[in-house]
Amino acid sequence: AQTVTQSQPEMSVQEAETVTLSCTYDTSESNYYLFWYKQPPSRQMILVIRQEAYKQQNATENRFSVNFQKAAKSFSLKISDSQLGDTAMYFCAFMTPLGGSQGNLIFGKGTKLSVKP
Amino acid sequence: EAGVAQSPRYKIIEKRQSVAFWCNPISGHATLYWYQQILGQGPKLLIQFQNNGVVDDSQLPKDRFSAERLKGVDSTLKIQPAKLEDSAVYLCASSRPGQTERKYGYTFGSGTRLTVV
């Protein structure tokens, strides 16, 4: 069974600085998708960035980038120039491209990020 | 496009009472998911629908939880009777079913926060 582990329950960063959130996963699949979701107090899960396992190039979305290490099964999120609005829970998630029940999103326990002014 | 709509936003009930949650997915999204998110944890899949058929309900406590998706659009999740440990946020999400679309993840609603006292 696939599992996702986020080892940092809480983190804080000063506004405008850079922070990295860690995520490791366990799977025997060779093709899969990885995601980082943000969950602010409004509770809605918002997709931040995604990575396809067969792509070696790390994904970037504006201030957000990932460090994807497939052999190590590691998928960390780097937030540059942190803003107060980045304060939220961040969840790492895994999904296989298969359909049906095998293709569900599996989440880690989350990291609570606080951006301080 | 309109997002995933959920109601109610909050619900407080006494144990052994019943409760129902409603979800309206994004138009055209054939796949619908219900997730349970207990405080301090990542979301856990309860049930997945493809159109109006159940794809995966292996983690749904069927002695007390039930769900339906009439006409392949709206869905209702019911708990009867509720227990204290059912206190959680119940998130609904939807996606297009194809493998190409799945790599973009799901679109989530804002969830219903249930408190059982």
Model confidence at B101, pLDDT cuts 50, 70, 90, reads: low
At A85, list the tokens.
């609005």
Q: Residue A12: what pLDDT?
A: 97
C-alpha distance from B4 to closest chain A C-alpha (Å): 10
DSSP letter, residue B80: S
Q: Residue A101: what pLDDT?
A: 56
Backbone angles phi and psi of A99, in degrees to 5? -85, -175
Residue A100: pLDDT above 80?
Answer: no
Residue B30: pLDDT above 90?
Answer: no
- Which chain B residue has the Cα nearest residue A91? B42
Q: Is A93 helix (H, G, I), strand (E, B) or coil?
A: strand
Alpha carbon B87 to its chain's center:
14
Q: Residue B95: what pLDDT?
A: 86
- Which chain A residue has the Cα nearest residue B35? A105
At B28, list the tokens.
């055209």
Q: Which residue has the tokens 């009472």?
A: B17
Q: Residue A24: what pLDDT?
A: 97
- Please tell me if residue A64 touches chain B, with a CB cutoff of 8 Å: no
CB contact under 8 A, A43 and B41: no
Model confidence at B18, pLDDT cuts 50, 70, 90, reads: very high
Alpha helix segments (H runs only) across B13-117: 99-102
- Lowest mean pLDDT: which of A9-18, A36-45, B14-23? A36-45
Q: Residue B100: what pLDDT?
A: 60
Task: Give the span between the Cα atoms of B91 and B112, in whole angstroms.
Answer: 7
Q: Nearest to residue A116, comparing CAs of A78, A86, A84?
A: A84
For residue A34, the one-letter residue type is L
pLDDT in tens, B39-94: 989 999 999 998 889 988 999 999 999 999 988 899 999 999 999 999 999 999 99
Of the residues A4, A38, A44, A46, the best mutation for testing chain B's interface (the one with the most B CB atoms within 10 Å of its CB) is A44
In B, which residues are within 8 Å of A37 by CB distance?
A: 105, 108
Dihedral of alpha carbons A4, B85, B12, A87, sign: negative
Residue A102: pLDDT above 60?
Answer: no
When computed from its CA atoms, the radius of gyration of chain B, rounded to whole angstroms, is: 14
pLDDT (mean) for A21-43: 92
CB contact under 8 A, A50 and B108: no
pLDDT (mean) for A11-24: 98
Higher per-residue confidence, A26 vs A103: A26
Which residues of B, range 88-107, sit inside 8 Å of A by Cβ? 89, 91, 93, 97, 99, 102-106
Q: Which residue has the tokens 């298969």?
A: A98
- Which chain A residue has the Cα nearest residue B57? A101
CB contact under 8 A, A44 and B44: no
CB B33 within 8 A of CB B59: no
Q: Which residue has the tokens 């058929």?
A: B53
Residue A50: pLDDT above 70?
Answer: yes
- Lowest mean pLDDT: which of A57-61, B12-16, B71-75, B109-113? B71-75
Q: Residue B71: what pLDDT?
A: 84
Residue A19: pLDDT above 60?
Answer: yes
